[in-house]
Amino acid sequence: MISLQVFYEGNVQGVGFRWSIRHIAKGFDITGWVRNLVDGRVELQINGEEDEVLAFLDAVGQSDLRAHIRNQTENKLQNPVAGHGFEIRHD
């Protein structure tokens, strides 16, 4: 199992980015969430088997969202992301 925090920068708010991420996540065996940040970035936290997580991130990068992403930063998390399924957070 691997847990990652990913920050997306670019034109990633107000374009359906979070909804698209959640839609892509439905095709993968991962848990986590995505949310907008006040500084204009989008934060994603996910966990699952490493190959599944990496395939999900690759699917995001190959989707139409790639046109909105200027920079992507990944950090490994020490603790797994809590929860079931994948959701959009509004906090």
Domain boundaries of the chain, sorted by first residue: 2-88
Q: Give the angle 3-68-32 at the CA atoms, nearest 5°.
A: 20
Catalytic residue among 11, 36, 66, 75: 36
- What are 18-76's pLDDT values in tens digits? 999 999 999 999 999 999 999 999 999 999 999 999 999 999 999 999 999 999 999 99
Q: Which of 67, 62, 73 is nearest to 6 (CA)?
A: 73
- The whole model's pTM is what? 0.92
CA pair distance 9, 28, nearest whole angstrom: 23
Catalytic site includes residue 70: no
Residue type, 15: V
Q: Give the angle 44-49-52 at the CA atoms, nearest 5°.
A: 70
The fold adopted by the segment(s) 2-88 is Alpha-Beta Plaits (3.30.70)
Catalytic site includes residue 36: yes
Catalytic residue among 11, 18, 66, 89: 18
